[in-house]
Chain A
Amino acid sequence: MPLLNVENLTVRFDTDDGPLTAVDGVTFCLNAGESVGLVGESGCGKSVTALAIARLIPCPPGSIESGHVYFNDQDLLRTDIRTLKDIRGNQISMIFQEPLSALSPLLRIEDQMIEAVFFHRDMSRGDARLFVLDWLSRVGIPDPEERLSAYPYQLSGGMQQRVMIAMALMMSPDLVIADEPTTALDVTTQAQIFALLSRMVKKRAALLLITHDMGVVWETCDRVVVMYASRVVETGGLKDVFFRPAHPYTRGLLAAIPSLSRGKARLSEIPGQVPSPLAYPDGCHFMDRCRFAFDRCKNEKPALFEVGEEHMAACFLVDQKREKSRAVPQGRGA
């Protein structure tokens, strides 16, 4: 029984230019203690997926059209708001991209951390302070006593993100969702934060890491879910997806990454550009940029076809290759 099971999730937004589908039938799952990377380029719907899991999509303009998000067998999309509030921050916690905008600028570190403790636990103020202090030192903040009385702007980006990580972990959640936790940080600070995430989070909870960086996924995760233009295009174990990518987009993406070891070889390009979410093609969303596109891609939405064990790709080529293997219904993920 997976810890988190996202089934056929579809999220729409009403915009001035018309309705757009940000997340279209996304299906994947995450087992207890596992780290899964949700990768894709900007606008592919990965962050919206994360927000929808915690039901943080602003409605309106957004609306969750269909689907289920089972967390410990409970459908988060259909629970009442009180149960949900008890789950958020307690069993599921989030680390956001911009620590400075995720932390309240008006509260000292101590006050905002203790506020979260009081929300979920019965504790005296003194105990809560010690509890919070302990967590600050666990995430490697020097002089935690002093930092307690600091305002977020007085900390560096790396320190702010450490505070976020401490807040995300202190209620011992089962699942941590980290949405591009290091994008705003420098490379050396990024390495520090990922070392911390690997050391602290992976021991205690399952991790859903949302990122655009394939290198980061490789170093942090066990499995990967690749998204393109609102849909899941490929999912599988790390080595399967990195060494035997089945979807043409995944292949193109991996080949386009400049790498230190590659030297000055010309980068391979994916021609064209991501289609506008207001005008996705009818069939496969990658069709216009795909070298292998054929008639079937034009009209039919590709389901996730099995490539190998726990490795699936939403591409008719995979289906063609294995004529006999039947399409796995979108309902059940890897």
Chain B
Amino acid sequence: MENTSIAPLLDVRNLATWFYMPKNLFSRKNDPIRAVDRVSFFINQKETLGLVGESGCGKTTLGRTILGLETPVDGEIIFSGKKIAGAGTALKAKDEKNLRKRMQVVFQDPLSSLNPRMNVMDIVTEGLLEFKMIKKKERADAARRLMGVVGLDKDAIYRFPHEFSGGQRQRINVARAISLNPKLIICDEAVSALDVSVQAQVINLFSDLREKYGLSYLFISHDLSVVSNIADRIAVMYLGRIVEQGRCEDVIFSPMHPYTRALIDAVPVAGKEKQQKMPLSGDVPSPLSPPPGCTFHPRCPKAMDVCRKTFPDVVSSGVIGEHRVACHLY
């Protein structure tokens, strides 16, 4: 780590979020779905962590837990040196509200995350009014300023979400997220619904805002190419666990975990010399009945006996600098 003396902005330790299926007549046992299981990572100030994984791996649940929208069953979350979730934390309503100011979110679907009955000015200044950061008569000015920051027409503040295109709507979402000057923005598949040419615009907007306001991002996406473009560090998730994390270049160019390798291999790259690929066999197992041992072993080309029995520990595995992997191979 470069700045060992400075505490990370977000420190997640051994976090676990489980869901219990409702009991009914037919289910005898009530095993939890371990959507997020013993996950540890950190995000430094002004740093972007890319969180990659396939659908159902728990990346969205992890994001929601950090936002306080889900309650973890174990582990702790420390944000700006203050414990915000975990055993023994009972946040006061006021503290929880203040947390919103410093941690914001941008969701995948830009239309459904905007209230169709509110005009853009009301949408982007609602937070500012709630926290009494502006007076009511200042809201048009504040809205115009925010629209300018995200590259939208300043005179469009009285228009409604349906009047904008997908890329513009996502810019409105970004404007709302940055309105309170947050430290951390969680982007949950924030560019996945956009077409390539517009996607590039929004990715560049995220990069610009990071420079301008010193933001940190947790950038959640299934698209490794997008993540590799914006992230300083990458964490790869599979079935509720982080299987590998490290600096972007390390993870992309010298992946250690067989799953990360398969993910990278599976991305079609235009213009690259075609090579014979070995796609992973099988599907992601159901999180309701994950395989014993390492959850990746049924699809792993290098699975050994030990993989079928115990889940590899991240700490005891090979650690090269910041590059951590949970795999028995190391």
| A187 adjacent to B200 (CB under 8 Å) | no
The answer to whether A188 and B248 touch (CB under 8 A), given A258-B225, A258-B229, is: no
Instruction: Mark the stretch among B99-107, B112-120, B123-131, B261-269 that contacts chain A.
Output: B261-269
Judge whether B284 is part of the interface by a CB distance below 8 angstroms.
Answer: yes
Interface of A is mostly: helix
Expressed in whole angstroms, the Cα–Cα distance for A252 and B199 within the complex equals 12
Closest-by-CB residue of A relative to B265 is A191
Chain B stretch 201-252: residues in CB contact (< 8 A) with chain A: 201, 203-204, 207, 222-226, 228-230, 248-249, 252
| A269 adjacent to B197 (CB under 8 Å) | yes
Which residues from chain B contact A269 at a C-beta distance below 8 Å? Answer: 197, 200-201, 204
The minimal Cβ–Cβ distance linking B272 to chain A, given in whole angstroms, is 7
Judge whether A215 is part of the interface by a CB distance below 8 angstroms.
Answer: yes
Expressed in whole angstroms, the Cα–Cα distance for A265 and B224 within the complex equals 15
| B55 adjacent to A186 (CB under 8 Å) | yes
| B195 adjacent to A41 (CB under 8 Å) | yes
Q: Give 1 or 0 for each of B263-298: 1 = CB within 8 Å of chain A CB.
A: 111111111101001011101100000000000000
Judge whether B165 is part of the interface by a CB distance below 8 angstroms.
Answer: yes
The answer to whether A191 and B280 touch (CB under 8 A), given A219-B274, A254-B270, A260-B264, is: yes
Judge whether B196 is part of the interface by a CB distance below 8 angstroms.
Answer: yes
| B268 adjacent to A218 (CB under 8 Å) | yes
Expressed in whole angstroms, the Cα–Cα distance for A284 and B279 within the complex equals 42
Q: Give 1 or 0 for each of A231-270: 1 = CB within 8 Å of chain B CB.
A: 0000000000011000000001110111111111111111
Which residues from chain A contact B198 at a C-beta distance below 8 Å? Answer: 273
| B196 adjacent to A256 (CB under 8 Å) | yes
Which residues from chain A contact B264 at a C-beta distance below 8 Å? Answer: 260
Expressed in whole angstroms, the Cα–Cα distance for A186 and B262 within the complex equals 12
| A195 adjacent to B225 (CB under 8 Å) | no
Q: Which residue from B167, B200, B263, B266 sits with its C-beta under 8 Å from A268? A: B200
| A258 adjacent to B268 (CB under 8 Å) | no
| A215 adjacent to B200 (CB under 8 Å) | no
The answer to whether A215 and B229 touch (CB under 8 A), given A186-B55, A256-B197, is: no
Expressed in whole angstroms, the Cα–Cα distance for A256 and B196 within the complex equals 7
Which residues from chain A contact B284 at a C-beta distance below 8 Å? Answer: 186, 188
The minimal Cβ–Cβ distance linking B89 to chain A, given in whole angstroms, is 35
| A257 adjacent to B196 (CB under 8 Å) | yes
Judge whether B168 is part of the interface by a CB distance below 8 angstroms.
Answer: yes
Q: Which residue from B197, B199, B230, B265 sits with its C-beta under 8 Å from A264? A: B230
Which residues from chain B contact A274 at a C-beta distance below 8 Å? Answer: 165, 195, 197
A selection of 28 A-B contacts at a CB cut-off of 8 Å is A42-B195, A158-B283, A186-B222, A187-B54, A187-B263, A188-B262, A191-B280, A192-B281, A194-B268, A218-B272, A219-B274, A252-B197, A254-B270, A257-B270, A258-B226, A259-B229, A260-B228, A260-B264, A261-B272, A262-B229, A263-B248, A263-B249, A267-B200, A270-B201, A271-B201, A273-B167, A273-B168, A274-B195
Task: Report which A residues bind B (CB closer than 8 A).
Answer: 41-42, 156, 158-159, 186-192, 194-195, 212-219, 242-243, 252-254, 256-271, 273-274
